[in-house]
Amino acid sequence: MSEKLQDLRQKIDRIDDQILLLLKERIGLMEKIGLIKKQSNLSIRDDRREKEKLKIIEQKAEKLELPVAFISRLWTAIFIQSEEIEK
């Protein structure tokens, strides 16, 4: 039983590594977007896009049978951090 538990934990560790790499990629893109917005004198925050994006993500989470409230909180945190990165 502990061998199976260890296998599952290793799979989780690999997934966590993938999530971190994707977040690193996302942050790199946010830095580029921040530069473009500054050069173009655009507002850092786009409330309309954020709301639309969150709605789409929540719909996808629901279809995937993920806890929508958790996914919403997670993406809200990502949006907040993205805004900080863009600044």
Question: Considering only CA atoms, which of 16, 42, 38, 61 is closest in space to residue 76?
Answer: 61
Answer whether 44's CB lies under 8 Å from 37's CB. yes
**Is residue 19 within 8 Å of residue 57, measured between CB atoms?**
no
The reported pLDDT for the residue numbered 86 is 81
Map out the domains of the chain with their CATH numbers. Answer: 2-86 (1.20.59.10)
pLDDT in tens, 9-61: 999 999 999 999 999 999 999 999 999 999 999 888 888 999 999 999 999 99
